[in-house]
Structures are given as C-alpha cells and as structure tokens.
Amino acid sequence: MDRIVIFDTTLRDGEQSPGATLNAAGKIEIARQLVRLGVDVIEAGFPAASPGDLKAVRRISREVEGPVICALARCERADIDKAWEAVRDAGKARIHIFIATSDIHMQHKLRMSREAVLKRTREMVSYARSLCEDVEFSPEDASRSEVEFLYQVLEVALAAGATTLNIPDTVGYATPGEFGALIQGIRQNVSGIDDAILSVHCHDDLGLATANSLAGVLAGARQVECTVNGLGERAGNAALEEIVMALYTRPQYFNLTSGIVTTEIYPTSRMVANYTGLAVQANKAIIGANAFAHEAGIHQDGILKNRLTYEIMDASVIGLAQSRLVLGKHSGRHALANKLEELGYHLDTEDLNKLFKRFKELADKKKEVADADLEVIVSDEIFQPEVVYAVDQIQVFCGNGSIPTATVRLRGPDGVYVVDSNHGTGPVDAMYEAINRIVGIPNDLVEFSINAVTEGIDAVGEVTIRIQEKLDNGGSPVNPQTGRKRRIFSGHGADTDIIVASAKAYVSALNKLIGSRNGDY
C-alpha cells in the first residue's frame, strides 16, 4: 500500500476560523498532541501575519519533535524571511509559499499579469530553496485557474526547486469528478511532476472537501492537507478524521494507508474543540456525539444482534472509551486519574489536583459523574486562557414583574477583588452588564449557546459564547493597532448553575480579548 502524507494545518488554516483564536501555549499543547496522533507535517502558522504567530511557530519548531514543521508565506521575500526565521531550528523544516493563479485573483486581488506571477513564482521558489531544502508551492485558487496557465506555473515552481506541489480548492468550488480530473491532468501534463509530491488542499464551502480530497488521492495525489474537526476559513477544510477513517475503513477500495494512530483521533478532537472553543456538531462524521449513537428501534435491535449491521467502524478504533466505570462521590483520585487517561487526557499533578477538587464538588451534587461531565470540567479548568479576571461570586435577582439585576464579584489583575451591579433584560444580560462595568472592554455578543451535558435536572450546563471586539474607530471594520479585522473570541464555562456557567464563559472570552491586546493571540 502507498502511504499518504498527512499534512495538518489546524494551527494555520484551522486557526483562521472566526473565534478559533489560540495563544502560544495552546498551540504548543495541540502540536504535541498532533505528534501523538502521528501526523507527518504540522503547518504551525503564518509568521508574517503577526509577531505572535512568528513567536508561536518558532517555539513549536524548537520544542516539538518528530513531524516536519512548516510555515506559510506569500511569494514575498519579507514573508519568506519570517517563515524561515520561524522554522529554521526545527529538526525538519519546510517553507510553504503561495500565490494566486486564477484570473479573478490575479486581476482583482494581486493586480498582476500572468507573466508577473510566473516571474514571481520562479524568483520566490528559488529564494525559499536557497534557505530551506523542503519547499512547498501552492497556486492559490488552483481549481478556478485556467488549466494551461496552471500547468505552466507548476512547471516553473518545479524547475525553481519546489519539492511539494499543493493544489488548493481555495473556495470549495470543485466537485469530486472535476477535482480528480484536475489532479490527473496535472500528472499527465506537467513535466517533471514525478520529482515532487503532489498534494491536495480542499475547502468545504459545498460540503465536498473530504470527497474532493479523496478524489485527488485516487487520481495520484500523495499528500492531503486537512484539519482536526474540519476547522478552517469559512466552512472549513477537509477534516483529518474523515480522510484517515475513509482510508482505514475502505482499504480494498483505496489501497492506501496513513501513519495516523487512530486511537488518538478522539482525544485530539476534544483537545482542539476545548482550546479553540469551537464545539463539534453532534452529527459530525467520526467524532460527533451522535456518530456512534443508535436511536431507532430497528437499528438498536440490529446492533444488539450484530454490531456490523449498522456500524462500519468500531468506536474504540478512534479512541472513544467504552468502559463501564462510573465515578461517584466515593471515587478517589486514582480512579479519576485512570478515567482521565482513558478519555485521552494526560494531566500533570497540579492539573489533576485542580480537577479532583472540581470533581468532588460535582459528585456532591450529582449521584453519578458521567464521562461527558468530566470532559466539560476538564475544559472548564484546564483549557482556559491566561486568567486576567476570574469569577468569584454572582448573585442575580430576576423573575416575573421584576427588574433583572445582578451583582458580580470578580478577582482582577493583581488579585484585587472588584464588585459591581447592573440591570438588564434578563438575568444573563444583567450579569454581563455588571461584568462590563468592571472590565470596561466594549464588545458585541455574537453567539450564546447553552447545552445540558447529560440528562436530568442535576445536569451540568455548558455555555459557549463568542464576542467580537468593538472599536472606537468610527465604525471601521479594521483595528488600527493590529491592522486586522475586528476579531472574534470564544469562551466556554460549565457549572450546574447556568448563570455561573454563563459568567465563566463570558469572562473566559474577555480574557482572550485582553490577551490579544498584549499580543498573546
């Protein structure tokens, strides 16, 4: 079987998902988990995008061993210099450069002629090659590029020293038949193509990213670019777990393999959801909460008689623990540690102690603590941004015929406690208004969702929110300090009291927003 190179771009294209902001510490932890998962290449960031990105890629290059560490750059000397500065210390380094090749991008975005794009490609690929032996080239918007011109650009990139040629369906426009034919056409018409690895990079705007990537692979591509949970620009990128499990589940059809340790898929998915604050939809293939759940009576009956009637994969293959061990208030630290390991969380003593305290508090309120409860308290305790403000006490007054009012006490910078009150349209609004009076950072709440983690009246409530920074800049969508668009930050919080969970989620998002102003994100 041929082996497919798994190129993970969760930390670059994935981090471009609105709200999926990660700080350097979160990126390092995810990169370490990607090593356990067995990816071949980690695209760690786009160093020219911000000094924070450059720093994070450099730390990953220095601290994470195993996979190739790659940095993205436009076809510009300054970008390439920054990418090289960021990855040069990696055990295996790669520079990935791109330039758009579709008429619409060249005319309206780059304002460059075809000749100029060819010249720039030649010069910048050879410049990148003069720095690094491993250079990947991407003709952005390849699937909408005039195909003869695309062949020409690829030949130029190859002759200038590119070692991987990546074909992006940047706007998720292609269909599987077309995309497979594009890859086949490139293999047949680009001279010297066998000297490079051919790669695919598909976006999911029409829900076809995985299908297109697999069509590319069937047509001869040997690297797939993908992200954990399918994160990425707009509708996202091809999901790593879908690509890998398609190859794993249908070996006779694909006759291809990957180096992925499939039992790390679920823990990686949880970790990425926790750090980015972007929850996985319940019906998401492979890793969604319902992916292995059977509701219909006929299906349940079939499963009981023979699992293969309705299940094409075994949940344990992706690392979904199926132990019957249920924790309760008599469970000790050792049982908790075992359970967390089983769920894929490898925690140090300090984190385990924090979690044990939270677990005991919860076990006092709930008879049985389910795996799902543990997952949310792990996110609530461990996967949080640097704490600037922390929720200390909340008190709300609300109900029919009253003015919802909240009093909040937060622990702020230097450990100073601050109390304030406000009213609002409901208890959550009143509490957020009180927090706003303390923190004083204008923002718009763009999403608020609340979810009961398990069934029953004693269930833990998990709140996920997204806030967008609000700037005092005459309504311009761009932040003059950073030159970037108004950014979105997610936050999550969990508690058996949903008002407390809502407060924690809001404060966690505010901590990220504050961190972004200090260059952490």
* Interface residues toward ligand KIV, by CB under 6 A: 13, 72, 98, 138, 140, 166, 168, 170, 201, 203
**CB of 223: closest distance to ligand KIV in angstroms?**
12
**CB of 72: closest distance to ligand KIV in angstroms?**
6
Sign of the C-alpha dihedral computed for residues 13, 511, 459 and 376 taken in this order: positive
Distance of CA 160 to the CA centre of its chain: 33
The DSSP H or E segment spanning 492 is strand 488-495
**CB of 74: closest distance to ligand KIV in angstroms?**
9
**CB of 382: closest distance to Zn ion in angstroms?**
30
Cα separation of 371 and 354, whole Å? Answer: 17
DSSP code, position 468: E
Cβ proximity to ligand KIV: between 134 and 373 the closer is: 134
**CB of 235: closest distance to Zn ion in angstroms?**
11
Residues 12-71 that bind Zn ion (CB under 5 A): 13
CA terminus-to-terminus distance, the chain: 41
Cβ proximity to Zn ion: between 145 and 436 the closer is: 145
Strands laid side by side in the 390-397 sheet: 390-397, 405-411, 417-423
Residue 54's binding partner among Zn ion, ligand KIV, none (Cβ under 5 to 8 angstroms by kind) is: none
For residue 80, give every residue at least 6 positions away whose Cβ sits within 8 Å of its Cβ, in sequence order, or none.
73, 95, 97, 124, 127, 128, 131
Cβ proximity to ligand KIV: between 83 and 363 the closer is: 83
**CB of 138: closest distance to ligand KIV in angstroms?**
4
Determine the interface stretch with Zn ion among 5-13, 18-26, 311-319, 471-479 (rule: CB under 5 A).
5-13
Residue 138's binding partner among Zn ion, ligand KIV, none (Cβ under 5 to 8 angstroms by kind) is: ligand KIV
Cβ proximity to ligand KIV: between 156 and 200 the closer is: 200
Cβ proximity to ligand KIV: between 98 and 151 the closer is: 98
Q: Which residues of 254-287 are buried (b: 16+ CB within 10 A; e: fewer)?
A: bebebebebbbbbbbbbbbbbbbbbbbeeebebb
Residue 140's binding partner among ligand KIV, Zn ion, none (Cβ under 5 to 8 angstroms by kind) is: ligand KIV
Both structure tokens of 61 = 């290059």
Cβ proximity to Zn ion: between 13 and 204 the closer is: 13
Cβ proximity to Zn ion: between 60 and 202 the closer is: 202
**CB of 229: closest distance to ligand KIV in angstroms?**
17
Residue 339's binding partner among ligand KIV, Zn ion, none (Cβ under 5 to 8 angstroms by kind) is: none
Q: Which residues of 70-98 are buried (b: 16+ CB within 10 A; e: fewer)?
A: bbbbbbeeebbbbbbbbbbebebbbbbbb
N residues, the chain: 521
